[in-house]
Amino acid sequence: MTLNDAVLEKEYTIKNVDTGGDEEIKSFLFSLGCYSGEGITVVDKHRNLVVSIKDARYNIDPELAGAIEVQAV
C-alpha cells in the first residue's frame, strides 16, 4: 500500500520508495529521512499530506506519497 492509503496518526514503516527511476526525487525524499525501514506517520490529509519522519513534519503532494510504499508496524 502507498502512503496515500495510510490511516491518520497510525505509524507505518517505509517498505520501498519507487520514484520510477527519477534520482532527483529519490534523493530529495532520502534527504527528508524517507527511506526503507524508517518509520513514518501521516499527521494530516487534505489536498496534500503532512507526514512525520524522525520527529520532523513535512508537507508532500499525493504524487510523492504514491511513490512511498508502507506497511503497518
CATH number for 11: 2.30.30.90
| Number of domains, the chain | 1
Instruction: Kindly give the pairing relationship between strand 68-72 and strand 56-60.
Output: unpaired
Give residue 39's domain range: 3-72
d(CA 24, CA 1): 23
Q: What is the pLDDT of residues 36-69, one digit of tens each?
A: 999 999 999 999 999 999 999 999 999 999 999 9
Give per-residue pLDDT as tens, 4-29.
Answer: 999 999 999 999 999 999 999 999 99
For the record, the C-alpha cell of 69 comes out as: 510504499
With 0.85 as the threshold, say if the pTM is over it: yes
* pLDDT for the residue numbered 42: 97
Question: At 66, which helix (H) or strand (E)?
Answer: helix 62-66
